[in-house]
C-alpha cells in the first residue's frame, strides 16, 4: 500500500543515498530479498509514472517472491517459508483466539455472588454457549496440524488433499490425545504392536513442529515418486507411496522428535517470560522485535506462540508484540497529525521528539 518493491539482479548497484535523497521517497530497506522503497499513500501514482518512464511492467506478488529468493540466504529462505505457511492460517487463529478469550471471561472469571461463581455457573444459557463455542476453539487449535499440513502442500505445489489426510492422521480420535499424555502412565499409553517393536499411539493435537516436519516429508516424497514413476501408473503409485511413508515417518520418527524440540523451545521461552529475569527478557524481546520485522525474522514467533499455547494454555508473546506495534504506530500518528515531514524540522511542540 505504501511501497515500491523491486527484485534486483545486482542489489549492490542500487544507489541508496541518491534514492533516499528524492523528495518523494520516505526511506528504503531490503526485506526477504526485495528492495523496498517507501513512497507513502501516493505510491500508486508513482508506480504509474515509473512504469511509463522505465518501460518496465509490474509482476504478480508470487512472481516477485519467487524471483526474490535469489537474493536470500538459507536462513531467510527458511523464515520466508515459515511465514508463508502460517499466513493462510492467521484468520482461523485470530477467530479461535477471540473465542477462547471470550470463553475464559464467562467460565473462568469469578465475578458473581461475592466472587465465588462464574457467569456459566449461574446461567444455563451461558454454560451452553460456552460448551458450543468450544466446538470452534477445538477445531482451530487442537486440529491445527491439519491446517499446517494443508498449508505446506499448498505452498509447495503438491497435492493438498494428501496434506489434509496426513494432518488428520496426526489428530485422529484413535490416538491418545496430546493433552492427556502427561497424565497417563507409561504402561497405559496405547501402542501399535508389530511383534518385535512397538510404537506409541500418541496424537499431536496443537503441535507445530511435528506437523511441519511430516508435511515437508510428504511434499518431498510426492515430488520424488512423481519424478521416478511412469505416467501411466502415477495416479495410483504416487499418492499411495507418498502418504503411507509420510504417515509412518510422522508417527515412528518425526512426531516424537518434533514434539521434544518444540517443547524445549517453548519451555525456554516460557522460563524467560515467567522466570527471575522476566523483566530483562521482556525488555530484550521488545527491543529486538521491531528490527526483526524489517528482516522478516519476526515470523518465527508464530510457531513459538502456538507451541506455547499447546504446552501452557496461553502465550505472552502476542500481547508484547501488540504493544510493540502500538509503540511503532504512535509516533507515526503524531508525525502525521503535526505534519512533520521526514528529515525536516518544523516549529511544532512535538517536533524534537519525532525527528528522524
Per-residue pLDDT of 148-177, as tens digits, reads 999 999 988 899 999 999 999 999 989 998
280: Cα separation from own chain's centroid: 25
Number of other residues whose CB lies within 10 A of the CB of residue 25: 18
User: 340 and 354 in contact (C-beta within 8 Å)?
Assistant: yes
Contacts of 211 (CB under 8 A, 6+ apart): 144, 145, 148, 149, 167, 170, 204, 258
The whole-angstrom separation of Cα 40 and Cα 44 is 9
Q: How confident is the model at residue 251 (pLDDT cuts 50, 70, 90)?
A: very high
Q: Are residues 159 and 32 in the same domain?
A: no
The whole-angstrom separation of Cα 166 and Cα 210 is 11
Q: Are residues 46 and 127 in the same domain?
A: no
User: 70 and 114 in contact (C-beta within 8 Å)?
Assistant: no
Q: Are residues 180 and 37 in the same domain?
A: no
Q: Are residues 222 and 200 in the same domain?
A: yes
**26-35 residues labelled b (16+ CB within 10 A) or e (exposed):** bebebbbbbb
Residue 202 lies in a domain: yes
pLDDT, residue 121, reads 92
Residue 47 lies in a domain: yes
Tell me which residue range forms the domain holding 114: 85-285
The whole-angstrom separation of Cα 298 and Cα 276 is 25
Q: Final residue of a domain: which of 250, 285, 320?
A: 285
The predicted model gives 219-225 an average pLDDT of 96
Residue 256 lies in a domain: yes
Q: Are residues 112 and 10 in the same domain?
A: no
- Torsional class of 211: left (φ above 0), alpha (ψ -120 to 50), beta (otherwise): alpha
pLDDT, residue 314, reads 76
Task: Determine the Cα angle at 68 with ends 213 and 164, to 5°.
Answer: 30
Q: Are residues 142 and 280 in the same domain?
A: yes
C-alpha cell at position 182: 502427561
* Greatest C-alpha distance within the chain: 83
pLDDT, residue 354, reads 28
Q: Are residues 43 and 110 in the same domain?
A: no
How many Cα atoms within 13 Å fall on the side-chain side of residue 230? 2
C-alpha cell at position 278: 522476566
Residue 61 lies in a domain: yes
Q: Are residues 250 and 227 in the same domain?
A: yes
Q: Which CA distances in Å does 145 have to 152, 155, 180, 208?
A: 10, 15, 17, 7
The predicted model gives 190-214 an average pLDDT of 90
How many domains are contained in the chain? 2
Contacts of 342 (CB under 8 A, 6+ apart): 26, 27, 335, 356
Please report the DSSP string for 74-112 in residue order.
Answer: HHHHHHHHHHHHHGGGHHHHHHHHHHHHHHHHHHS---B
- Indicate the DSSP class of residue 299: G
CATH number at residue 29: 3.30.1360
Asked if pLDDT for residue 62 goes beyond 70, the answer is: no
pLDDT, residue 308, reads 78
State phi, psi for 121 to the nearest 5 degrees.
-80, -20
Q: Are residues 64 and 133 in the same domain?
A: no
The predicted model gives 325-345 an average pLDDT of 56
Residue 355 lies in a domain: no
Residue 260 lies in a domain: yes
Q: Are residues 222 and 144 in the same domain?
A: yes
Higher pLDDT, 353 or 200: 200
User: 2 and 27 in contact (C-beta within 8 Å)?
Assistant: no
Residue 227 lies in a domain: yes
Residue 320 lies in a domain: no
Q: Final residue of a domain: which of 285, 300, 330?
A: 285
pTM given for the model: 0.69
Amino acid at each position: 500500500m505504501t511501497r515500491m518493491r523491486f527484485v534486483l539482479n545486482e542489489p549492490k548497484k542500487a544507489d541508496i543515498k541518491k534514492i533516499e535523497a528524492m523528495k518523494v521517497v520516505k526511506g528504503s530497506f531490503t526485506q526477504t530479498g526485495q528492495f523496498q522503497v517507501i513512497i507513502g499513500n501516493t505510491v500508486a501514482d508513482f508506480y504509474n509514472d515509473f512504469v511509463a518512464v522505465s518501460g518496465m511492467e509490474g509482476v504478480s506478488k508470487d512472481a516477485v517472491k519467487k524471483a526474490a529468493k535469489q537474493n536470500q540466504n538459507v536462513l531467510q529462505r527458511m523464515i520466508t517459508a515459515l511465514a508463508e505457511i502460517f499466513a493462510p492460517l492467521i484468520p482461523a487463529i485470530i477467530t479461535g483466539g477471540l473465542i477462547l478469550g471470550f470463553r475464559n471471561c464467562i467460565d473462568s472469571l469469578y465475578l458473581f455472588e461475592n466472587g465465588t461463581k462464574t457467569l456459566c455457573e449461574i446461567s444455563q444459557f451461558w454454560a451452553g454457549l460456552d460448551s458450543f463455542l468450544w466446538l470452534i476453539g477445538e477445531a482451530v487449535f487442537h486440529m491445527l496440524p491439519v491446517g499446517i499440513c494443508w498449508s505446506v502442500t499448498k505452498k509447495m505445489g503438491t497435492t493438498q488433499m494428501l496434506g489434509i489426510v496426513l494432518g488428520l492422521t496426526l489428530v485422529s480420535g484413535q490416538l491418545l490425545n496430546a493433552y492427556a499424555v502427561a497424565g497417563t502412565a507409561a504402561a497405559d499409553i496405547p501402542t501399535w504392536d508389530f511383534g518385535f517393536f512397538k510404537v506409541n499411539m500418541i496424537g499431536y493435537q496443537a503441535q507445530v513442529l511435528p506437523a511441519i516436519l511430516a508435511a515437508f516429508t510428504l511434499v518431498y516424497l510426492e515430488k520424488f515418486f512423481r519424478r521416478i514413476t511412469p505416467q501411466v501408473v502415477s495416479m495410483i503409485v504416487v499418492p499411495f507411496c507418498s502418504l503411507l511413508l509420510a504417515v509412518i515417518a510422522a508417527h515412528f520418527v518425526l512426531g516424537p522428535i518434533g514434539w521434544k524440540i518444540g517443547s524445549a523451545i517453548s519451555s525456554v521461552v516460557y522460563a524467560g517470560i515467567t522466570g527471575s529475569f522476566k523483566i530483562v527478557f521482556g525488555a530484550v524481546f521488545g527491543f529486538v522485535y521491531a528490527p526483526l520485522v524489517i528482516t522478516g525474522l519476526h515470523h518465527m514467533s508464530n510457531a513459538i506462540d502456538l507451541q506455547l499455547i499447546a504446552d501452557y494454555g496461553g502465550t505472552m508473546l502476542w500481547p508484547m508484540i501488540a504493544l510493540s506495534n502500538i509503540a511503532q504506530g504512535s509516533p507515526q500518528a503524531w508525525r502525521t497529525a503535526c505534519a512533520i515531514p521526514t528529515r525536516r524540522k518544523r516549529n511544532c511542540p512535538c517536533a524534537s521528539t519525532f525527528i528522524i
